[in-house]
């Protein structure tokens, strides 16, 4: 048993505590608080981080790839590349996200990811997969984005159970257009099984979105994008998300997918507690401009935008940059912005206490930041990511 005290100018629990210390024993946090309130056990190793701060490890519930690798490749080598790349940018946990493909390809990817989640116990690889997010094939063709229209299908319980069986209990989130025929039946089935349905790629009216929330839907996939546009006489699904405090909004805060003024509107409507920062990252994350594979599509990446045939196709934003952007775009405090990438997500996914905060008993997933919230060092379960 080894004990280490990480001492920093500020720790974000995610509330800001000045002159803070995070006391770690092996892979768990023993205590976190002000230096004055915590007595260090004899023999404790001290890591002094002058001029720096410590945040909980970031959690990404929507990521398709990184480092030139795509989740749908479903190989150990590509998956390790994704995990190592994400960890470099402060993301210590994620929900790998599939895309719309053939039933056989989706099932193959889901089976692989179920194994990856079950056996990802070694912290030295980097970012840890916690569950599977399926984005497609139950999307509205009108709001499909780059999801292939010929592979989108109407949801049925039989087909859904086929995927759920392949996931072996590791399916955590499914993006679904709630207005589709039989979608309510699937939503009820998911909720009974502990899977979180998320409204996305949807042309839902306000009334259709309201019905989904009444059933138990509590989140919306990449807010504003691939959704029925907001209108003052037709508020649609966006109006429902903006006005219902029960619904959390995923947000790609890159300034490309959503204009900063629209982000400000979301921030004012939902508050810091109602936003979940995501990457929607593709294989180009952490890579130079160029052409990249995304679920079989050749996506062009240039000047921070990913496009296919004139449509946005995921992003290259990382959660550390999304956190910084929220402080610039809407004036969120560092504690608020960090909360959007940590505790909010952990609460949504039911893993608070283990992930997303610096608290007794939580995994020792730490991100060391400089004064500009740039990542300096990352620890997963107490071990440094290199």
Q: Residues of 156-165 as b/e, b for ≥16 C-beta within 10 angstroms?
A: eeebbeebbe
Q: What CA–CA distance (Å, rounded) separates 306 from 125?
A: 27
Active site residue 280: yes
Per DSSP, 315 falls in state: B
| First-last CA distance in the chain | 22
Q: 144 — alpha (psi -120 to 50), left (phi > 0) or beta?
A: alpha
**DSSP H/E element including 77:** helix 76-88
DSSP states of 185-251 = HHHHHHHHHT-EEEE-SB---HHHHHHHHHHT--EESSTTTTBPPP-SS--HHHHHHHH-TT-EEEE
Catalytic one of 60, 70, 203, 280: 280
DSSP states of 80-104 = HHHHHHHHHTTEEEEEEEE-S--HH
Helix 206-215, helix 183-193: angle, nearest 10: 30
Residue 197: C-alpha distances to residues 74, 135, 234, 238, 260 (Å):
23, 10, 23, 16, 27
Q: Dihedral sign for Cα 178, 181, 183, 184, please.
A: positive
| 372 and 323 Cβ atoms separated by less than 8 Å | no
DSSP states of 317-386 = --HHHHHHHHHHHS---HHHHHHHTTHHHHHHHT-BTTBSS--TTSB--EEEE-TT--EEEEEETTEE--
Q: Dihedral sign for Cα 363, 368, 374, 380, please.
A: negative
Strand 290-294 relative to strand 297-302: parallel, antiparallel, unpaired?
A: antiparallel
* Percentages of the chain per state (helix, strand, coil), in multiples of 5: 30, 30, 35
Q: What CA–CA distance (Å, rounded) separates 199 from 242?
A: 13
Which residues belong to the active site?
A: 280
């Amino acid at each position: 048993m080894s004990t280490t005290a990480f001492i920093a100018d500020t720790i974000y629990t995610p509330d800001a505590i000045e002159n803070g210390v995070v006391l770690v024993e092996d892979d768990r946090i023993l205590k976190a608080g002000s230096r004055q309130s915590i007595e260090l056990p004899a023999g404790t190793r001290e890591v002094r981080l002058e001029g720096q701060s410590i945040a909980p490890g970031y959690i990404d519930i929507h990521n398709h790839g990184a480092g030139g690798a795509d989740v749908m490749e479903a190989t150990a080598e590509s998956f390790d590349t994704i995990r190592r790349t994400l960890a470099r940018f402060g993301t210590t946990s994620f929900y790998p996200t599939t895309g719309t493909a053939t039933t056989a390809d989706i099932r193959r990817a889901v089976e692989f990811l179920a194994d990856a989640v079950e056996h990802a116990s070694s912290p030295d690889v980097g970012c840890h997969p916690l569950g599977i997010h399926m984005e497609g094939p139950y999307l509205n063709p009108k709001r499909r984005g780059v999801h292939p229209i010929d592979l989108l299908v109407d949801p049925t319980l039989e087909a859904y159970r086929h995927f759920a069986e392949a996931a072996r209990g590791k399916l955590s989130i499914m993006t679904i257009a709630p207005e589709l025929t039989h979608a309510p039946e699937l939503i009820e089935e998911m909720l009974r099984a502990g899977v979180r349905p998320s409204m996305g790629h949807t042309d839902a009216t306000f009334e259709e979105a309201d019905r989904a929330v009444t059933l138990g839907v509590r989140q919306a996939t990449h807010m504003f994008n691939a959704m029925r546009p907001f209108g003052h006489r037709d508020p649609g699904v966006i109006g429902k998300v903006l006005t219902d405090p029960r619904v959390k909004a995923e947000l790609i805060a890159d300034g490309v997918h959503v204009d900063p003024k629209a982000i400000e509107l979301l921030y004012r409507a939902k508050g810091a507690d109602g936003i979940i920062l995501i990457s929607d990252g593709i294989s180009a994350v952490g890579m130079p401009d160029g052409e990249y594979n995304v679920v079989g599509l050749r996506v062009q990446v240039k000047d921070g935008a990913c496009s296919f045939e004139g449509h946005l196709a995921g992003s290259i934003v990382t959660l550390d940059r999304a956190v910084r952007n929220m402080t610039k775009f809407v004036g969120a405090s560092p504690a608020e912005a960090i909360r959007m990438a940590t505790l909010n997500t952990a609460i949504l996914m039911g893993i608070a206490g283990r992930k997303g905060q610096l608290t007794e008993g939580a995994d020792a997933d730490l991100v060391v930041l400089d004064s500009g919230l740039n990542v300096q060092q990352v620890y997963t379960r107490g071990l440094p990511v290199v």
